[in-house]
Amino acid sequence: MAKKDDKKKVFEAHHYSAEDITVLEGLEPVRKRPGMYIGTTGPDGLHHLIWEIFDNSRDEAMGGFADHIEVALLPQNWVRVVDNGRGIPVDMHKKTKVSALETIMTTLHAGGKFGGEGYSVSGGLHGVGASVVNALSTNMGVFVHRDGGEYFQEYAQGKRKAAVKKVGSSKKNGTIVLFQADPEIFEKIEYDFERVTTRLRQQAYLTKKLRISVLDARNYTGKLNEEAFYLSDENLEVPNTTFYFEGGLQSMIRFYNEFQKPIHKNIFYVEKEAEGVMVEVALQYVDDISVRLVAFANNIYNSEGGTHLTGFKTALTRCVNSYARKANVLKDADDNLVGDDVLEGLTAVVSVKMREIQFEGQTKSKLGSMEAQSATSNVFGEAFMAFLEENPDDARSIVGKGILAMRARLAAKAAKDSVLRKGALEGMTLPGKLADCQSNDPAESELFLVEGDSAGGSSKQGRDRRTQAILPLKGKILNVERARLDKMLASQEIKSLVLALGTLIGDTFNIEKLRYHKIIIATDADVDGAHIRTLILTLFYRHFRPLIEGGFIYIAQPPLFKIKRGKDIQYAYSESEKNKKVGKDVDVSEIVEIEGQEEGEETTEEEKSEKVATKKAPKVTIQRYKGLGEMNPEELWETTMDPEKRILLKVNIEDAQEADKVFDVLMGTDVPSRKSFIQSNAAKADIDI
């Protein structure tokens, strides 16, 4: 009986009935689980609100109904998106019994992209975009210009404040959407104007003859007319830019290759429909070993590629091999160029547009529509073969590039095999200069990459030995921007780093074997330190990008100043913070600044006190750190390594193509372009020399 009673209690404790089911009405599910709809409530999710509203306007342009979109960042975190499309319908919806505008803005899975003739091509699939933005906004307002009238409706946290009303007459057509992101939802509301500009530039390339204006009026103190159609027409004195490209993807290729040396003159381009899929491809080869290959489906960037990219690669390899054999460049039947050979040095953009589209996953990062593969392969393959035959000089350069890549691949194979295939890395012990941590759990383990032996010594003494490992790097590591894998692994510093990470490298890379989930770059706050940091980031970006995308790479932020006022000690991370902490009430004559010593020298506390004493015991002393090696172990722990107090910057890739371009400039061989880039961006840099 006791056992039966126990079972009954357990059953009752786990009783599951209709009473346990929570029903969320309207847009409540969005506010309850925002991450399901926008991915995150951090910066990515915040900017996603702009993309959702912009994409609706962009879909109007893709359908041929609009040719100008304006995005403006306004004071008090308002965002304003305008298009001159048809305007959202405002008439009564038969099913919901309210205006179509209200239905779209307050109902999930309601929109003009599920069927009918509203949109032949669109990026939105689920009808959640505008309503999700509405749900996650404190306030939202929509002005619609259509059918000779101007209509308005206002919302708060996804709920309407009043019915749609006509507020005036209008000779225009289009939609004005204003929204104010909700601070109850988002961790921090701060839009990145450069990020917005980069995204919208990309969209302008993808939609030929679409004019996109971007304004940053957040600090504008004048009067803004919220009902004005385009604020850019008012000539506001605010940061602004307008994108308009006649050439579409060809213009995009020129932009990506701005700091590269093309190996052939003509940019290949094709735009043609097949099997109900509009295929658009542009490409050009450059004198480099990196691959720049980006794909879009209905103007949505597919970071993981998909079926259209598979079709493109298959056709590219087939065409180059076919032409090479026809031109008697490849004679041996075994000497086929492989995919990696024909991709080396390629800059290409593949874009498809289709009515019924399928993505793998909620983020739309990978296209799954199978008809896109055959359509892209057929359209591109036919056009590219014709391009090679009609442009023999370009064709010879392209085939020659592939053959050079093949020869380099075969020549390097033995070296790569000896290092990678035969377990040379897997079987080797960890590098001797690595001071490993005691923990075997990667989730709690950290690897500090520190500059020089002096900093290495201090950090080894000051660390938490259980979870923190130290790998000192000697000097500036190899610039891997144009180095092949066998040359890289001949570098002892890079080899030590690869061994320490545990992931291997190249085609044997396995992120599951990563030994540390925090890899922290800790270099000095001077020009050399910045250079070393850039070299390390180049290595991670080119050969360990999944570590960046996975959020495993960080940059340490050591302080620049130690401020001592009697027994009170504070640290400052910038000149302005130092001045603020020193205070205005302190007389300049009372301050003694102690410059940091050269690396390898040590200044004892007694010596520091002696320096202070010679200045008649001032009230405030400031030590200026030039490098990590100047800190004793206790200072390094307290300021840079203690998880409770330190400041770390997480490295992420907001725009892969823009990041790729920056690395090309900074680490490539084009000196004039690098000089121009540095001169143009010098004012943005916070470098202490």
Nearest Cα neighbor of 673 from 286, 179, 139, 189 is 286
Nearest Cα neighbor of 322 from 429, 395, 409 is 395
CA distances from 620 to 229, 573, 587, 609 (A): 58, 17, 10, 12
| Secondary structure, 3-state, 416-428 | HHHHHHCCHHHHC
What whole-number distance in Å separates Cα of residue 97 and Cα of residue 93? 5
CB 333 within 8 A of CB 396: no
Tell me how far apart the terminal alpha carbons of the chain are, to the nearest angstrom.
82
Residue type, 134: N
φ and ψ of 305, to 5 deg:
75, -130
Residue found under tokens 């490098």: 627
Give me the helix-helix angle, 656-667 and 527-543, nearest 10°: 130
Q: How crowded is the C-beta side of 436, counted as CA atoms within 13 Å?
A: 17
What whole-number distance in Å separates Cα of residue 218 and Cα of residue 234? 16
φ and ψ of 52, to 5 deg:
-65, -45
Q: How many CB atoms lie within 10 A of CB 440?
A: 9
As given in the structure block, the two tokens for residue 212 are 């996109």
What whole-number distance in Å separates Cα of residue 245 and Cα of residue 200? 12
As given in the structure block, the two tokens for residue 133 are 């933005």
Find the catalytic residue in 194, 526, 549, 655.
526
Q: Which run of H or E residues covers position 393?
A: helix 392-416
R_g of the chain, CA atoms, integer Å: 30
Q: Look at residue 72 and give its three-state secondary structure.
A: strand
Name 285's bridge partners. 346
Find the catalytic residue in 59, 341, 451, 660.
451
Name 311's bridge partners. none
Find the catalytic residue in 271, 528, 654, 655.
528
CB 289 within 8 A of CB 487: no
In terms of Cβ atoms closer than 10 Å to its own Cβ (0-12, 13-18, 19+), residue 663 is: middle
CB 335 within 8 A of CB 324: no
CB 70 within 8 A of CB 81: yes
Is 605 considered catalytic here?
no
Find the catalytic residue in 60, 524, 635, 664.
524
Work out the angle at residue 314's Cα, subtended by the Cα atoms of residues 540 and 298, and round it to the nearest 5 degrees: 75
What whole-number distance in Å separates Cα of residue 73 and Cα of residue 50? 10
Is 526 considered catalytic here?
yes
Q: How many CB atoms lie within 10 A of CB 596?
A: 19
Is 451 considered catalytic here?
yes
What whole-number distance in Å separates Cα of residue 589 and Cα of residue 586? 8
Nearest Cα neighbor of 294 from 306, 305, 279 is 305
What one-character DSSP code corresponds to residue 597? P
| Secondary structure, 3-state, 227-292 | CCCCHHHHCCCCCEEEECCCCCHHHHHHHHCCCCCECCCCCEEEEEEECCEEEEEEEEEECCCCCE
Q: How many CB atoms lie within 10 A of CB 479?
A: 16
List, by residue number, the catalytic residues.
451, 524, 526, 528
